[in-house]
Amino acid sequence: MLNETSILDSKKERIMDYTTLAQKAVEAKSKALPTYSNFHVGSALLTENDELFIGCNIESSSYSLTICAERTAIFKAISEGARKFKAIAIAADAPGFCPPCGACRQVISDLCGDIDVVMIDHSDNLKIMKISELLPLAFSDKDLV
């Protein structure tokens, strides 16, 4: 179980929200379908109204059709009408912190804004970064001509 002392971020006001969010991401890993990579990833997305949407990675034999846990959670949330988000948590089989892939970084930036990305390691430590830190100079609607 994650606890407050495992936070590696100085923004203490977010501890309670993000500890629960991180635990939901860890739980979501059990729903993953990593048929080919055997790499389980879970994600939990928190809306501004404190609604929670979980996602997991789902693999296809046509690898490019595979979907990451982060995008699963985001697309579920949007399909249910959510439009404003606070944070997304990511838990994976990697022993350290597992950041979102490039495609997920772009989708998070586009659809969620500059939210917090909460990464969980196997020791239940959390690392919190803004998506703008993970994707500086992101392509956006301002770049469309």
Q: For residue range 30-72, what is the model confidence (pLDDT) as tens digits?
A: 999 999 999 999 999 999 999 999 999 999 999 999 999 999 9
Average pLDDT, the chain: 90
| Cα–Cα distance measured from residue 53 to residue 112, given in angstroms and rounded to the nearest whole number | 13
Catalytic residue among 13, 27, 51, 70: 70
The model's pTM: 0.88
Give the model's pLDDT for residue 3.
40
Is 70 in the active site? yes
* Domains delineated in the chain: 4-136 (3.40.140.10)
CA distance 115 to 86: 5
Per residue in 14-33, pLDDT tens?
555 799 999 999 999 999 99
Task: Give which of 12, 21, 17, 22 is closest to 124, Cα–Cα.
Answer: 22
Report how far residue 96's alpha carbon sits from residue 74's, in angstroms, rounded to the nearest whole number. 23
Instruction: Determine the Cα–Cα distance for residues 132 and 65; give it in Å rounded to an integer.
Output: 26
